[in-house]
Amino acid sequence: MDEDVTGFELERSVKNQLRTLSKENAEGVGQHLVMAARLLDVDDETALLHAETAVRRAGRVAAAREALGLVLYRRQEWAKALNEFRTVRRLSGSNHLLPFMVDCERGLGRPDKALELAQSPEAGALPQEDRIELLIVTSGIRRDLGQLDAAKVELEVPALRQGTTKPWYPRLAYAYAEALLALGDEAGATQWFHRSADADHEGETDADERLAELEGYSFTDLLDGVEDEDGVEVELGDGAVAQAGVDEPPAPEGGRADGIRGREHE
């Protein structure tokens, strides 16, 4: 457990759920939930241990089950993750994890079940952000099934043109670029990867790298700076340089789109 973790870092809604526990147990569970979230992207094995401990101590707390589900989802343990998400839905009565559940069905090779769930009345009642995530997943399912035109049409919603400042926009534009690329429209895909990259200030997608592939150059990550002609080390920003015979191309700022907030099956 990191020394700085208190459990008070959790959102108010989660802390409210923990009030059903004793004070000591609530504090401990809260700390494990914070650690699970902190380690999710860097050490999913240890994140899993923290999430499992939280569930052992608070199995009827929806937030604990959701944390475990998210770690399992990140580890692509689809069946286990789906079971946790279903438990959260039963405990909380909330449908906010439906996009994850649909993606788990997809990962389990059950596209028909995934699409049925995505088209349910509960899915239609989700708030905009969750509906966008669901569209991204269902578009990917259509591509899996070879329904390439349908994959493109799935994403042609007003938000594609109007939501450029929204946090989900880089992922939506990225998914649309993928759909166009699957149809062989490299020019269109390039345009939309550019839109995704321009809006992606948090590095949620690998749009920069996809553009590099389409435009004929590749990125090489550098662990250290390089030296100029005088032997002086030069800082390379994010530590990446393009190699293509072009002068000083921009360095990529993000990693791969991962997780439902951008995750696509390969």
Pairwise CA distance, residues 241 & 7, whole Å: 40
Element (H, E) at 219: strand 218-221
Is the pLDDT assigned to residue 8 strictly greater than 90?
no
**Together in a domain, 152 and 266:** yes
pLDDT at 240: 39
Element (H, E) at 112: helix 111-118
Residue type, 91: L
**Together in a domain, 82 and 166:** no
Pairwise CA distance, residues 252 & 242, whole Å: 9
Is the pLDDT assigned to residue 265 strictly greater than 60?
no
Of the candidate ranges 8-17, 59-68, 69-78, 177-186, the one whose mean pLDDT is the lowest: 8-17
**Together in a domain, 149 and 258:** yes
**Together in a domain, 76 and 171:** no
On whether residue 119 sits in a domain, the answer given is no
Burial of 80 (0-12, 13-18, 19+ CB in 10 A): middle
Q: Is residue 242 classed as helix, strand or coil in its secondary structure? A: strand
The domain boundary, picked from 59, 94, 129, lies at 94
On whether residue 134 sits in a domain, the answer given is no
Pairwise CA distance, residues 174 & 191, whole Å: 10
**Together in a domain, 82 and 156:** no
**Together in a domain, 73 and 173:** no
On whether residue 73 sits in a domain, the answer given is yes
**Together in a domain, 13 and 77:** yes
Pairwise CA distance, residues 252 & 191, whole Å: 17
On whether residue 75 sits in a domain, the answer given is yes
Pairwise CA distance, residues 111 & 101, whole Å: 12
On whether residue 114 sits in a domain, the answer given is no
On whether residue 123 sits in a domain, the answer given is no
The encoded tokens of residue 22 equal: 């004793």
Pairwise CA distance, residues 58 & 27, whole Å: 11
**Together in a domain, 152 and 258:** yes
Q: How confident is the model at residue 238 (pLDDT cuts 50, 70, 90)?
A: very low
Could you tell me the pTM of the whole model? 0.75
Q: How many domains does the chain have?
A: 2
Q: Is residue 240 classed as helix, strand or coil in its secondary structure? A: strand
Q: Which domain holds residue 44?
A: 1-94
**Bridge partners (DSSP) listed for residue 241:** 220
| CATH label of the domain that carries residue 42 | 1.25.40.10
Other beta carbons within 10 Å of 35: 23
Is the pLDDT assigned to residue 63 strictly greater than 90?
yes
